[in-house]
Structure formats: structure tokens, C-alpha cells
Structure 1
Amino acid sequence: MSNSNHHGMHSFEGKNVLCSLHSFSDESFGRFGRMFKDLPPLYNAPSSLSGLGKVAGPMDGGNTAKFTNSVPLGMVFFGQFIDHDITFDTTTSFSSINHPNEILNSRSAELDLDSVFGGGPEDDPFLYAPRSEGFFLLTGKSNNNLGQNKQTEAHDLQRNGKETAIIGDPRNDENRVISQMQLAFIRFYNANYKELKDAHPNYSPEKVYEEARKITTWHYQWVVVNEFLPIMCGKYLVEDILGNGRKYYQPKKSAFIPVEFSVAAFRFGHTMIAQNLKLQSDGASHSIFSPEFGQGFSRITSSKQAVEWDALFDYDNNFQKAEKLDTTLAPILLNLPFVPSTNPDDKSLATRNFRRGQSFLLPSGENVARCLNREEAEILQVTDFVHNKVSPHNVDLSAGIPLWFYILADAEVIGRQDSDTQFSQGEGLGPVGGRIVAEVLIGLLELDRNSYLGNNRGWTPTLGSNGTFKMRNLMEVAATAADL
């Protein structure tokens, strides 16, 4: 299994043109661009980046997990799912990260679930049932996956004879949670398709598909805006953006993915994954790279690999919580077991993130914070914390703090803004990371004429209850989908 298949390991060939200074002259390249074009790039010595991300270094969280009070673990994986929906580079060579070759982001840079639907039944018919049966998305059950019993087949994606998942985005098979989240969205669509098909027998399969896809996509977008973003960025900040508009993510032409978002801010989830996790409420804990949990890209072979969603999302306030959003990672992420290199820098997810950020000429966290008009006293509080944390490890960040690390420190020291005066440390992104993430995701929706925010801002969910729709509701609807 190639290490490039894992989340966080993918190359950035598609936006490598942004690794050179001339990229500051244009708004975007291949659907990627810069949010802070007027800020200078930061340069830290490679030895400092290695020191930051090394085993037993300042980012090593040790073996004692520190959990949040409020964040469902499933929301971290949902963030991964969102990331796969809006960005995808088709090349996979990490070694060519600085090659100045422009290749388009093959995702649409829209929250439109093309990672689930692909190009639709006409362009990607292998994802769908025949027209005569109705354009349902196929699953492991409908595909009669080779060698699986009925119980495991019901929890799996459709696969070919080599066990490769036949889905719109191959990355959504990298671990058991993300693969079954992909399956849940497939089943959520199938449930919507079946209801429409039964209610409107005169509709053509194409019309049912379009309507069911819209229902599925708009409910997904609703969850992003009304559940995911408030949890991760703070309800106060989200309401400010929705009420007073975006101030910093303002594309002059079409929507694009800022590298400050994709290479730094939206990598916050790496700190929120514990070394050992549960897939089932009463099940055993498993390493994130165990066969039960993390060794994806293969068929499900045991009921122990089946996800119970009430263990990961808020059904009854008894969900599994994510680790705190701070400046530490689970030790295994600093020594990735599937990376064949003997170079410790290659095996550290943190160091790889820092190297990427530097390759893409990201500005320092302090400069971004100033650009966002954060108070100097707040910036000093974060920078003092960082320098005190790294100085015992002889890491020199005197030139500036890498944006990703500043965003993590901002979350740890300042915290998620829950009201005008209340901040929750470690519970979500701080003012800098939260502003970037929330403005970009809301902006992508507002600039998309097919989204609910870009098409019908008065829309409310037709599923759920009383205008409320959350991941719990989505999973409950998905569970009602009939096996094909």
C-alpha cells in the first residue's frame, strides 16, 4: 500500500506553481490560490522544521490522551471527508513537490459531493445501477463483493476483484471510518432517490437523480454550515461571517482553494486524533493504523471493523470525543509506520506539514494574525507560548512561526470563540484558524450557484425535525436505505 494514499501524504503537484514567487501575481492557478497575497513568505531553517516535528520534540503528545469536552470524534473525520470533496491532486509523488508544473485541482472546489457522485450516471456508470433499475449508487451489497459474508458486505463499499473500492474518490477508502462515511452518504442518497422515485412514478430516472442529488447535497452543506463549522470554529465567528460577510476570502473571479487553507488551517484535525480509538461504543480501542481501524484500501473482513455512528457523533451526549486541538500530535503520527523511508523527517506527519507549508511560500502566523486585525496583545500571548515551548528543544523560530503551528497554538492558548467574551481553549480553532476555515467553506458555498447558500438562502432542511438537521439525522436516514 503506497504511503501516498493516506490523508496528509498526498502530493501537491496540482498547485506546485504556487511554490514560486511569480505565483503572487495572479489570483489563482488551477483552482488553487492565495488568501493573503500581500504577505511575504516565511523561511525557517530546515533544521528548525525537523526539530519541531521530531519524536520526543515539542509536538510529541506522549501516550496520555487529552480529550475535548465537546467535540465528537466523528467531526474530525467529517472534516477529512469535506477536504476530499473540495481538493484532489491526481499525481502522487511527494518527491516532486517543488516541480513548477500546473495541473488542475480535479475536485470542483465546491461542496457538491462529486467525491460521492463522480461525474454522474452518464460519465461514471460503474458507480450506478442500470437505468432500468433507477440510478441508485452501488454498494458492497449490490456489487456482491467477492468473498464477503452478508454481514460484512453490508458495511462495505463496492469493490473490484483486487478489493479496490469503486467510488468517486479513492482516498475515501483509507480507513474504516472514512470508507463507511462514504458508504453512509451513498446510502443517504439512495434513501432520497427511493423516496422520490416512489412519490413520482412518472419522473424519468434522470430527473429523480437530479432531485435526489440536490436533496442529498443541500442537507450535507447544511451540516457543514450549521454543525461542523460552529463546533470547529465557534458559533460566534460563524454567525459573524453569515451576518456581516466575509472579510478576507473574497475571490475577484471564481472560487478557489487558498493554500493557507489547504496546507495549513484545514490540517487542524491531525492534532485531534488519539493514538487509540473506538469504532463501536462497547468495542475495544484500536490503534489508528491497526487492521480494525486504519488499514484501509481493502474489503471489510470482520464485524469488528464496522462503525457504529453513535460512538462517533452526538446521538445522546455519550459520544467518543476528539483529542484537544493543540500543538501536540499522537506519537504514532510523528513516526508513521507505513512510510518506508529511514529519514525521520519523512516519517513525521508534522515535519511533512511544515515542509509543505514552506514549499508553498506560506506567510508566518504572526503576519496572518496581524492581517486579520488581531490585537497585538493576543499575538504576543501566542508567540510567547510558542517560543517558550520550543526553546528547550533548541528550535529557532525567530524569523517567524509557521502558519500551521501558529494556528494550533492559537487554538491552544486563545481557543474557539463561543460568545463575544467566551473562548474555549483546545475545543476548536482559535480566531486565526477559525476565520480562515469558516470564511473559505462559507465562501465556496456562497460562490456556488447550485448550493443552498448560493441559490436559495431561505431554504431549510426537509429532513430532520423543525428545521434542524445534523450528522445524526443523516446517519439515521442512511440506515433506512434498502439494500439493493
Structure 2
Amino acid sequence: MSNSNHHGFHSFEGKNVLCTLASFQEESFGRFGRLFRNLPPLYTTPPSLSNLGKKSGPMDAGSTPRFTNSVPLGMIFFGQFIDHDITFDTTSSFSKLNNPNQIANTRSAQLDLDCVFGGGPEDEPFMYASRSEGFFLLTGKTNKNADQTANLEKHDLARSGKGVAIIGDPRNDENRVISQLQLAFIRFYNAVYADIKTSKPALSPEETYAEAKRTVTWHYHWIILNEFLPALCGKKIVQDILGNGRKFYQPCNHPFIPVEFSVAAYRFGHTMIAQNLKLKKTGSAHSIFSPEFGQGFAKITNPNQVIEWEVLFDFDGSYQRAERLDSTLAPALLDLPFVPSPDPDDKSLATRNLRRSQSFLLPSGENAAVAIGRPAAEIDTVNDFIKTKTSPHNVDLSAGTPLWYYILAEAEVIGRMESGTSFLPGEGLGPVGATIVAEVLIGLLELDENSYLGSNRDWTPTLSSTKTYSMKDLLTKSLTAVEI
């Protein structure tokens, strides 16, 4: 089958008329942008989007979860943490077309952990201990809340008198795992800061802060590149990008976050979150909307809310696995309890994602697959699967498949690339999704002169004698931090 008449791929002379709009022009500093500026946007009727994303529809995973064989559940929350480090869109809307070049990204398009460090001790001193003590980041030890014991405070974030977390990004308190992960990074920094303060006493607090921040950030980058991306995108694609260069994420002026990444490909984690998960090695699993897991933005009041990281990350092989990366979401995510609207479309995370994609004029998944160079037979395989899944539900995708849904279906039926011809369905992103995610994250590192990929590609982790580093190492180190 030729590309020109492939399902979802439409021939056009020159640029589609919509592509002449500012929305499809070169990226602007501090704004979002596009990877595929020359691809026409897909339009899917709102009823089809509703039927695709509704509860009991084709994206409903049902009550029997299916788990990966190789991806720790904690990696999905780490992916959320990464997202909060590089994107924060506070102005876009479902109810109108959104121009990425006019949408401010209130996070820097850099993996600089500004969600942890904020603006630093000079700009945001309320997040840090005093200069005389050393610029440690504050934790819940400073809370002194009447309804929180000292033992619970040390496992919590620093909070205001009203319980609001005093952190670089408020979203990192929106559920218990991400809140505890934020605390782990704070503790990791504090442990590194203490080591440098002891080993290099001649350094000023400012110099100690700068060295500790760089050390923490570079080890974070190492984990993204050597643990997170291989687990979700596959080593083959990561190695190909590092060895042969990025082909699609090539900013004209400034690093930016493409909407194909933020609105589609990087939302893969929504399919991998289990409806029930354990926070401790012993005990029962809890619903993602239970008091233990937390509905967000609240202090720890129960020891059961303190996470034991061995259950979420690979310490000894006995970790919880993420759910398979496929075209379905846990039923609880299709009927969000905290959304007050009576409209089922508003309460379904799947429908919200699909509506958001349409509002940003994203291309079809088929068009993106052709642009990336995927073979027609592979695209046909994904499309046949999509047709089988959606046809009983009155979903009309004859014009093409929404990019997010195509990427999920591709992950389910093709899967993570292990070699040029070997794939593991459901274990990670397929070729289109993996290419978008890996190129953007690697590109952000390569284009940042403060990252190790952008300044010293020979660097290896300094906190380990093995010259490598993992989330297990980071979380273990965080437990050695002084209590501030």
C-alpha cells in the first residue's frame, strides 16, 4: 500500500491551509511548539471521541488488570515527576483551538529539577535552611503541626500552617507517590549537600549548593537516560538516537516542548497505573483514590501513607509491575471522583486527553507514523487492531486515529522495540511513541549546556564506585539524609 492512500494519511499539495497559521510556525522562547509542522491536523467528531473514551467503551480496561513483565510501577510515577520538571500549561482549554506558540510553559524546557530547587536559596529562601546552617532544603521536620507527630513530620514535605506544601511545583503533592518522590529528591540533595559540606569545608554555602545541585541533577539525568528511557522506549531506539542523532526534534531557535510529546506521546503513563497499588511490603493494596494513596495536596496523617520504595522500584526483583502499556485505562480513571461536572466526558481522563489533542490540532497517528518512516505493513497492523477494538462502539476513525490513541494501540499490538525486528507488546512504547518521547528527552539534555550530555559526555556517576546509578541507588542515598 502506498503512503499516499494509506488510512489516515491524506495527500496534499504544499501545506494544509491550517498549517499556514502561526500555530504551525517556528517555536517561540518559553512556549510549546510542534514536531510535525507540515502535517495536517486531524478532526474527529466529538461523539466519536466521547464513545472512544467513555466508561464501558473500548478504552475501559475492566476489572482484571494485566501487568508488564519488566517495568516497575514506580517508573510511571517517576515519569510524572519528569513531566512536572519540564511542562506546566496553565492556560489551554478544551473549548477552543490552542496555539502552542502562544501557550506559555511555566516550567523551563530543561531537566533542571526546578520543581525541587525552585529559584534557589537566594530567590526562594523559604524553601531552604539558613545560610549559617547550610542551604539544605527544608522537609516536614519544620512543620510543627499539632495533628502530625514528629515521626510523621520527617516523612512529609515542608508545609504552611494550612498544610500547603512548600515546594518548587505544587503538582508534586497531588498524590502520595509523587509527594513522597518529591521528598526523596529533597533528601537526596540534602545527603549530597552534607557530604560535600563535610569533604570540602572550604567551600562557601553558595559553592556547596552549586556543586550539590549539579551532582544531583546529573545523576537524575543519568537515570533518565540509562534506566527510564530504556524501560519505556527500549534500548534500541535510545541507542540509535544517541549514536545517529535526532531526526525529528530539531528546534530552530530554542529548546521547547512539542505538543505531540506533551499532549499525546508522554501521556502513556495513564494506561499503566493500576487501579489498586501497594505502598508497603506488607499489607493490602489501596485504590488510587483511597485515603492512603491520597487525593492530593494534604499532609501525612497515617504511617500507612509513608511509602516503602522497594514495592515500587527494582531493589531485589520483587517490585510491583506497572500495568501493560495498552489502549485501555483503569475504570476509576474513566470516572474521576474529584471532577464535579455531571458530564461523563469531563469525568473521563481518556476523553479529556482526546479532546485536548483535538484542541491542539494534532496530526493523525497514521500521518505521524509515515513521517517517522514506519513501514506500511506495521501501520496496517495497528489500524486493523484499532478497527476491531472500536467498531462495536460507534467510533468513526475513518479520517485517521487520534495520535494519543494510535500510540497506545501501537504499544499494545507492536510494543517496545528490543532490536530491529524484535518487539515486546505491552512492555513499553511502540516505535512512534518511543521515537517522540526519547528524541525530546534526549534532545532537552543535549541542548542544555548545564547537563552532562550538553557539557561533558564522558561523565559517569560519581556517587557510585561502579560508575552507574539507578533509582534504587538514589532512593537508598536519600534515606541517609540529615533531618532538616
Shorter-chain TM-score: what band?
over 0.9
Give how far 1:143 is off.
Answer: 3.7
Q: Whole-Å Cα distance in 1 between the matches of residues 74 and 96 of structure 2?
A: 31
Give how far 1:90 is off.
Answer: 4.1
Task: Establish whether residue 340 from structure 1 lines up as the match of residue 324 from structure 2.
Answer: no
Q: Whole-Å Cα distance in 1 between the matches of residues 146 and 207 of structure 2?
A: 33
Superposed, 1:290-305 pairs within 5 Å as: 290-305=290-305
Give how far 1:142 is off.
Answer: 3.3
Task: Establish whether residue 85 from structure 1 lines up as the match of residue 100 from structure 2.
Answer: no
**Structure 2 contact 32–103 (Cα < 8 Å) conserved:** no
Relative to structure 1, the CA distance from residue 19 to residue 46 in structure 2 (aligned partners, 3 Å threshold; closer, same or farther) is farther
Equivalent residue number for residue 132 of structure 2 = 132
Q: Whole-Å Cα distance in 1 between the matches of residues 317 and 251 of structure 2?
A: 39
**Displaced runs of 4 or more, over 6 A:** none
Q: Whole-Å Cα distance in 2 between the matches of residues 426 and 64 of structure 1?
A: 15
Equivalent residue number for residue 53 of structure 1 = 53
**Structure 1 contact 145–160 (Cα < 8 Å) conserved:** no
Superposed, 1:258-277 pairs within 5 Å as: 258-277=258-277
Offset from partner CA, 1:4-57 (integer Å, 9 cap, x none): xxxxxxxxxxxxxx9994311233463310000000000000000000001100
Equivalent residue of 1:133, what SS?
coil
Relative to structure 1, the CA distance from residue 96 to residue 387 in structure 2 (aligned partners, 3 Å threshold; closer, same or farther) is closer
Q: Whole-Å Cα distance in 1 between the matches of residues 116 and 307 of structure 2?
A: 19
Q: Whole-Å Cα distance in 1 between the matches of residues 414 and 400 of structure 2?
A: 19
**Structure 1 contact 30–102 (Cα < 8 Å) conserved:** no
Relative to structure 1, the CA distance from residue 168 to residue 97 in structure 2 (aligned partners, 3 Å threshold; closer, same or farther) is farther
Task: Establish whether residue 27 from structure 1 lines up as the match of residue 19 from structure 2.
Answer: no
**Structure 2 contact 98–359 (Cα < 8 Å) conserved:** no
Q: Whole-Å Cα distance in 2 between the matches of residues 105 and 431 of structure 1?
A: 27
Give how far 1:464 is off.
Answer: 2.9
Task: Establish whether residue 181 from structure 1 lines up as the match of residue 214 from structure 2.
Answer: no
Q: Whole-Å Cα distance in 2 between the matches of residues 307 and 164 of structure 1?
A: 20
Superposed, 1:232-311 pairs within 5 Å as: 232-311=232-311
- The residue type paired with residue 300 of structure 2 is I
Q: Whole-Å Cα distance in 1 between the matches of residues 425 and 362 of structure 2?
A: 25
Equivalent residue number for residue 220 of structure 1 = 220
Equivalent residue number for residue 401 of structure 2 = 401
**Structure 1 contact 160–166 (Cα < 8 Å) conserved:** yes
Give how far 1:284 is off.
Answer: 1.3
Give how far 1:153 is off.
Answer: 1.0
Equivalent residue of 1:237, what SS?
helix
**Structure 1 contact 271–327 (Cα < 8 Å) conserved:** yes
Give how far 1:95 is off.
Answer: 6.2
Give how far 1:252 is off.
Answer: 1.7
Unaligned residue ranges in structure 2 (runs of 5+): 1-17
Relative to structure 1, the CA distance from residue 104 to residue 394 in structure 2 (aligned partners, 3 Å threshold; closer, same or farther) is closer
Equivalent residue of 1:69, what SS?
strand
Equivalent residue number for residue 197 of structure 1 = 197
- The residue type paired with residue 473 of structure 1 is D
- The residue type paired with residue 395 of structure 2 is V
Equivalent residue number for residue 75 of structure 1 = 75
- The residue type paired with residue 226 of structure 1 is N
Equivalent residue number for residue 433 of structure 1 = 433
- The residue type paired with residue 332 of structure 1 is A
Q: Whole-Å Cα distance in 2 between the matches of residues 238 and 254 of structure 1?
A: 22
Q: Whole-Å Cα distance in 2 between the matches of residues 60 and 21 of structure 1?
A: 36
Offset from partner CA, 1:150-179 (integer Å, 9 cap, x none): 221121000011100000000000011000
- The residue type paired with residue 118 of structure 1 is G
**Structure 1 contact 19–360 (Cα < 8 Å) conserved:** no
Identity of aligned residues (%): 68
Equivalent residue of 1:164, what SS?
coil
**Structure 1 contact 236–418 (Cα < 8 Å) conserved:** yes
Equivalent residue number for residue 350 of structure 2 = 350
Give how far 1:468 is off.
Answer: 1.6
Equivalent residue number for residue 461 of structure 1 = 461
Give how far 1:146 is off.
Answer: 4.4
Offset from partner CA, 1:447-467 (integer Å, 9 cap, x none): 000000001000000113411
Unaligned residue ranges in structure 1 (runs of 5+): 1-17
**Structure 1 contact 146–161 (Cα < 8 Å) conserved:** no
Q: Whole-Å Cα distance in 2 between the matches of residues 423 and 140 of structure 1?
A: 45
Q: Whole-Å Cα distance in 1 between the matches of residues 210 and 151 of structure 2?
A: 31
**Structure 1 contact 28–34 (Cα < 8 Å) conserved:** no
Equivalent residue number for residue 445 of structure 1 = 445
Offset from partner CA, 1:242-268 (integer Å, 9 cap, x none): 111111111121100000000000000
Q: Whole-Å Cα distance in 2 between the matches of residues 456 and 406 of structure 1?
A: 37
Q: Whole-Å Cα distance in 1 between the matches of residues 393 and 340 of structure 2?
A: 26
Equivalent residue of 1:322, what SS?
strand
Report the number of matched residues: 466
What is the CA RMSD across the aligned residues, in angstroms?
Answer: 1.6
Relative to structure 1, the CA distance from residue 181 to residue 386 in structure 2 (aligned partners, 3 Å threshold; closer, same or farther) is same
Equivalent residue number for residue 66 of structure 2 = 66
Q: Whole-Å Cα distance in 1 between the matches of residues 205 and 247 of structure 2?
A: 42
Relative to structure 1, the CA distance from residue 29 to residue 451 in structure 2 (aligned partners, 3 Å threshold; closer, same or farther) is closer
**Structure 1 contact 324–427 (Cα < 8 Å) conserved:** yes
Give how far 1:292 is off.
Answer: 0.4
Offset from partner CA, 1:59-106 (integer Å, 9 cap, x none): 000011000001000000000000000011345x85666476935211
**Structure 1 contact 326–426 (Cα < 8 Å) conserved:** yes
Offset from partner CA, 1:367-422 (integer Å, 9 cap, x none): 00000000000000001110111001111100100000000011001000112322
Q: Whole-Å Cα distance in 2 between the matches of residues 330 and 29 of structure 1?
A: 37
TM-score normalized with structure 1 length: 0.94
Equivalent residue number for residue 3 of structure 1 = none
Equivalent residue of 2:132, what SS?
helix
Q: Whole-Å Cα distance in 2 between the matches of residues 358 and 95 of structure 1?
A: 8
- The residue type paired with residue 367 of structure 2 is N
